[in-house]
Amino acid sequence: MDVVARTSAPLVPATSNPGHTRISPGGVGRNIAACLGLLGAPVRLVSAVGDDAFGEEALRVTAACGADVGAVRRVPGATGTYTAVLDDRGELVAAVSDMAVVDALELDTVHLTDAALVVVDGNLAHDQAARVVAAASAADVPVAFEPVSVAKAARLSDLVRDLFLVTPNADELAALTGRPAGDWRASVDDLHARGVEHVWLRHGAEGSWMCTREAEPVHLPAAPATVVDVTGAGDAMLAAWVAAWLRGADPVAAARDGHLAAAATIESPHTVRPDLAEAMHDLTREHR
Report the CATH number that the domain containing residue 278 is assigned in CATH.
3.40.1190.20
Give the confidence band of 100 by pLDDT, cuts at 50, 70, 90. Answer: confident
Residue 95 lies in a domain: no
Residue 1 lies in a domain: no
Residue 122 lies in a domain: yes
Residue 145 lies in a domain: yes
pLDDT the model gives residue 287: 65
Q: How far is CA 130 from CA 164, 167, 190, 265, 276, in A?
A: 15, 18, 20, 31, 32
CB-hemisphere CA count at 13 Å for 154? 7
Q: For 196-217, what is each residue's pLDDT tens digit?
A: 999 999 998 899 999 999 899 9
Short-list 220, 237, 250, 235, CA closest to 280:
237
Residue 94 lies in a domain: no
Torsion, Cα of 236, 179, 188, 116 (10° steps): -50
Domain hosting residue 281, numbered range: 28-77+102-287
pLDDT the model gives residue 114: 87
Residue 222 has pLDDT above 70, yes or no: yes
Residue 91 lies in a domain: no
- Residue 109 DSSP one-character state: -
Domain count, the chain: 1
Residue 120 lies in a domain: yes
Q: For 6-48, what is each residue's pLDDT tens digit?
A: 999 999 999 999 999 999 999 899 999 999 999 999 999 999 9
